[in-house]
Amino acid sequence: MIKSPYKINKNFSKLNPFSKKNLLNIYHKLYFSRFVEEVIQNEYPNQQMKTPTHLGIGQEAISVGVCLNLKKKDAIFSHHRSHLPYISSDGSIYKLFCELLGKKNGSSGGKGGSVHLCSRSNGFYGSTAILGQAIGLAAGAGLAFKLKKKKNISVAFFGNSSLEEGLSFETLNFCSLKNIPTLFVYENNFYSTEMPNYKGDMKNFNPQKIVKGLGIKYLKVDGNNISDVFFKSKYAIDYIKKNSRPVFIEFITYRWLEHCGPYYDYALKRYYRTKKEVMYWKKFCPVASFKKFLIKKGFNKDISLLEKKINKKVNLIYKKALKSKKPILKDLQTNV
């Protein structure tokens, strides 16, 4: 069974100086991300969504913590598990639902589906199912910022399989040689589709050794603790802006559901991981652990009200998306 190198981390003391408003804003983003994906998880079996859908339930703290430190004109690129970075960068939930439902008002006109989201006005320049492509695109955006002498940075969200592509290491080397202001966000959930890290090509892979060997600053962070994610991301982004150098962060996390779809692997009798392992990792839930911290501070009534508002809002938005129009034939060749 795969276990976390960290203990269940409920230490959020670094966030104590934050105001009540800011703490509740962080929880709002965590819970909002979780509930949106839970709506997708629950509705997907109803056959209204025809796109393959990669859910990131269990990994919310990474996107939230990183995006809280970004500026609006920074450029974000994501791999196929794209909902959480899209949501955390304030992408329209209505457009997300419409995209999954194949509707005209979707973020990509209903033609891209779950893995091709876009919200450029919020800095989310797109997601892609091509392994490693987000890394290359982010480097290009970072190079553009440098050539135009802008103070923005680019960010690449990617998972385990992306680090099995030559493009990824060629890009990291290029960014190091050319001093590109890019943050590389490695969401290490221990699996490449259904292949665990301790098997296959990744068995002897050491990202720290390779990244440091390329002259890039490397950080390893508990990706399920919003405090650790927030402050380590802030440190990395400040470093990038000050030195015009890339930074690589390996976030340790875990996805609860199957690689593609709304179900648990063990319920489908896919035996590459056990129910016991999933239940073990649920104890590290980034949403529940931060909620307990806030309740101890006496925010339980605020949290209850916040959750009810989010639940009502998201459910209404989904119902609205269900009623939206489908693309027409002449839209087929637009925005391609």
Helix or strand run (H / E) with residue 43? helix 20-43
Every domain of the chain and the residues it spans: 13-331
Structure-token match 């909002």, residue found: 32
CB 281 within 8 A of CB 254: yes
pLDDT digits (tens, 9 = 90+) for 87-146: 999 999 999 999 999 999 999 999 899 999 999 999 999 999 999 999 999 999 999 999
pLDDT of residue 18: 96
174: pLDDT strictly greater than 90: yes
Residue 315 is predicted with a pLDDT of 98
| Structure confidence at residue 330 (pLDDT) | 83
Q: Domain 13-331 falls in which CATH fold?
A: Rossmann fold (3.40.50)
Contact (Cβ atoms closer than 8 angstroms) between residue 90 and residue 122: yes
Q: Which range has the worst mean pLDDT, 9-13, 78-82, 136-140, 178-182?
A: 9-13
- For the residues 210-231, what does the mean pLDDT come to? 97
The pLDDT > 70 percentage for the chain reads 100
Distance (Å) of CA 12 to CA 8, 59, 223, 291:
12, 17, 13, 11
**By mean pLDDT, which of 244-248, 268-272, 332-336 is the weakest?**
332-336
Q: What is residue 80's DSSP assignment?
A: S
How many Å apart are CA 34 and CA 57, to the nearest integer? 6
Helix (H) or strand (E) holding 276: helix 275-282
Q: Which amino acid is at 119?
A: S
Q: Which tens digit of pLDDT belongs to each residue from 17-32? A: 999 999 999 999 999 9
**pLDDT for the residue 136:** 97
Asked if residue 206 lies in contact with residue 162, where contact means CB atoms within 8 angstroms, the answer is no
Instruction: Look up the pTM and report it.
Output: 0.96
Burial 104-118 (b: 16+ CB within 10 A, else e): ebbbbbbbbbbbbbb
Measured in whole angstroms, how far is the alpha carbon of residue 292 from the centre of its chain?
Answer: 23
Question: H or E element: which one contains 155?
Answer: strand 154-158
Q: Which residues pair with 196 in a beta bridge?
A: 191
The predicted-structure confidence for 278-315, as pLDDT tens digits, reads as follows 999 999 999 999 999 999 999 999 999 999 999 999 99
**Residue 245: what pLDDT?**
97
Which region, left, alpha or beta, applies to residue 36 given φ > 0 means left and ψ of -120 to 50 means alpha? alpha
Question: Cβ(287)–Cβ(59) under 8 Å?
Answer: no
Question: Residue 203: how many CB atoms within 10 A of its CB?
Answer: 10
pLDDT at 203: 79
